[in-house]
Structures are given as structure tokens and as C-alpha cells.
């Protein structure tokens, strides 16, 4: 798959999300919320087909789910349509024939509101507790048996830029938003000495308080 156009679109959205063109008047009559929580579901996979996974060659898995729960803290800027935020993200990724990880990331970003629509960009980084999901076998007493001991468990570094585009379906002191998002994740394993690019896209629901 040619990812050239995906890169171009991603960079363009990042540029637009920091553009002063988004500095329009905000007619929101409600007090902006200072906190929110967001639940996301993404399909996440290797950015390029690197051929990882013994069984994935024979069994093409369509969905490799990545679940995240995020907590946001906002700070309003002089522009009424723009606010900055810090966030913490807890994530679980299950790539059936490659690896599974439980991750914790922290990040910062900015968000622009245009009516009921908004766009946000952020950069996140953190650690993941990663276990190989590839089935490994050893030959013992004349039989091939599954060996749990050969599955590495490592603590690896994740860095993820992400774009969210959303729409507010309930606009009051406890707003609810639906969100679509796209992210790239750069996965660094000091133990295995490899750097692997991932990308993910999905949907989310956000609740403000």
C-alpha cells in the first residue's frame, strides 16, 4: 500500500489545526469544561507490511484492536475558540499474531472549536509493557508443544502524534462529543534494538465535566 497521500493528509491537518484561520467567534453560552474523559477504539497495525507474525501469513486478521481511556485537563487561551490541554492515556493493544501491550502515555496538545465541530492535535509519549503474541514451539519428548517461556516481555517506549476531529452532540455544562481520530506511533524497543512504525484510526466518545 502506498502511504504517500496518508502522510500528506496527516501533515496538512496538523498545519491547519495550528492555523489562525480557526480564530472565529465562539457563541457557546455554556461555561467551558475544564476536564473530560474519552474512550476510543482504533484499528492499529504496522505502518508497512514487515511480515511479522508466523500465523498472520496464513490468517489475515482484519481488526487489530487498540482500546484507550483518556483523561484531559484544559486551559483556556485568549482566543475563545482555542484551548490547550494535557492528558493521560491508558491503552491496551492486541495484535493477535505479533504482540500485546498495556501502555501509559502522557501528552499535550491544542484544540480549536468551530460551532459544534472541533479539531485537536497532540503529541504523546510513554511506556508499554509488551508481550510477544507469536506462538512459539519446542520439541519435547517427541512432540511439539507451546512454550510460554520463549515469549519475551519488554518495557518499550512509544511516541504518538495524533489528530482528532469531532462533533458535539450535546452542548451543555457536561458536553458529549463523538470523535474520529488518526495517529502514528513510533515504537522503540531498547531490548530488541528495533524501531517500528505503527498507525491507527478509529472512533471515540468524549464526556466533559
Q: Is 156 helix (H, G, I), strand (E, B) or coil?
A: strand
Q: How many domains does the chain have?
A: 1
Band (pLDDT 50/70/90 cuts) for residue 21 is very low
Range(s) of the domain holding residue 128: 4-19+32-208
The cell for 37 is: 474523559
**Contacts of 2 by beta carbon, 8 Å cutoff, 6+ apart:** none
- Residue-wise pLDDT for 165-197, tens only, equals 999 999 998 999 999 999 999 999 887 777 889
User: What is the mean pLDDT of the segment spanning 88-117?
Assistant: 93
Domain for residue 25, yes or no?
A: no
Domain for residue 24, yes or no?
A: no
Predicted pLDDT at 97? 73
**What CATH number did the domain enclosing 131 receive?**
2.40.160.20
Predicted pLDDT at 5? 59
Amino acid at each position: 500500500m502506498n502511504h504517500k497521500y496518508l502522510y500528506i493528509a496527516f501533515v496538512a491537518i496538523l498545519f491547519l489545526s495550528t492555523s489562525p484561520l480557526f480564530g472565529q467567534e465562539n457563541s457557546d453560552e455554556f461555561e467551558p469544561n475544564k476536564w473530560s474523559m474519552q474512550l476510543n477504539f482504533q484499528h492499529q497495525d504496522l505502518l508497512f507490511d514487515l511480515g511479522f507474525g508466523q500465523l498472520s501469513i496464513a490468517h489475515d486478521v482484519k481488526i487489530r484492536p487498540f482500546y484507550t481511556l483518556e483523561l484531559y485537563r484544559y486551559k483556556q487561551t485568549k482566543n475563545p475558540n482555542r484551548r490547550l490541554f494535557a492528558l493521560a492515556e491508558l491503552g491496551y493493544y492486541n495484535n493477535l499474531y505479533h504482540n500485546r501491550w498495556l501502555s501509559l502515555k502522557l501528552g499535550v496538545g491544542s484544540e480549536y472549536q468551530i460551532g459544534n465541530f472541533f479539531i485537536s492535535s497532540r503529541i504523546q509519549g510513554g511506556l508499554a509493557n509488551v508481550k510477544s503474541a507469536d506462538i512459539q514451539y519446542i520439541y519435547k519428548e517427541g512432540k511439539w508443544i507451546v512454550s510460554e517461556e520463549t515469549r519475551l516481555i519488554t518495557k518499550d517506549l512509544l511516541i504518538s502524534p495524533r489528530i482528532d476531529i469531532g462533533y458535539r452532540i450535546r452542548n451543555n455544562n457536561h458536553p458529549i462529543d463523538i470523535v474520529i481520530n488518526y495517529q502514528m506511533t513510533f515504537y522503540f524497543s531498547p531490548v530488541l534494538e528495533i524501531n517500528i512504525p505503527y498507525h491507527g484510526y478509529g472512533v471515540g466518545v468524549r464526556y466533559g465535566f
